[in-house]
Amino acid sequence: MKRIVIVAAMEREISNFVAGWPSRTIQGKRPLKIYEKHNVAVVCGGIGSRAARRAADEGYKEFDGEVSLFVSTGIAGALVPELNVGDVLQPAEIVDEADSLTIHSAAGKGKLVSSGAVASREIKQILARRFAAEAVDMEAYAVADVAQLYHVPFLAIKAISDEFDFPMPPLGRFVSEEGQFQTASFMAYILIRPWLWRRVLSLGRNSQKASLALTKPLTDVVSRYSPAQESSSSQYNR
């Protein structure tokens, strides 16, 4: 049976979608959490392109290449003022910030830029001018590149967690080389900087709203791309 492999950076991004699903760990240099139900596998790979590429590749190999679709999902930042927290986009084009290479998805509209770092408000303005894109993430291009390598269709489904003018706290410095967010170090940093507290709390609420917003579009995509006998969308959220 072919699988739909969905790659997310962090578990909290897809926690609503996979609620109640059985999970296991793919062993390797760095263990990967994987949720499975019917013909769908959700792999939590970590933050950034390196982690996302590894997660997509390991997901493909875990099922011996029997993958019918790759999906990159999770949160993203808005590059246009029209996008609000919780808005979901399915871009037609994924652009790599580093070299401007573009990969087209199997369906969608608009453009998403994959950046090498967490995009601050100032960086968002630069990316918006340079690429005329609607949103920015850190993982979609890497997953799309793996999908292209293995000749598997690809989609990206992203929900906005930070709007165009949102002043991002310095999250990037707390992401390890393996793509893991160092929560304890970040909290220690924030604790003595009370002027950041409201911003961090706001981002947390926004990220939770974005995560919740991903549930229906992911369920719809799974239903649309699953075999006819497994196409009931409700079965993935029971």
- Tens-digit pLDDT profile for residues 22-53: 999 887 677 899 999 989 999 999 999 999 99
Cβ neighbours of 228 (radius 10 Å): 6
Q: Which two tokens stand for residue 86?
A: 């919780």
Confidence of residue 228 (pLDDT cuts 50, 70, 90): low
The residue written with tokens 């263990």 in the block is: 31
Predicted TM-score (pTM) of the model is 0.91
Q: How many domains does the chain have?
A: 1
Yes or no: say if 122 and 170 are a contact pair by the CB < 8 Å rule: no
Domain of 36, in residue numbers: 3-237
> Using CA atoms, how far apart are residues 82 and 3, in angstroms rounded to an integer?
35
Tens digits of residue pLDDT in 121-141: 999 999 999 999 999 999 999
* CATH number of the domain where residue 106 is located: 3.40.50.1580
Q: Which pLDDT belongs to residue 31? A: 84
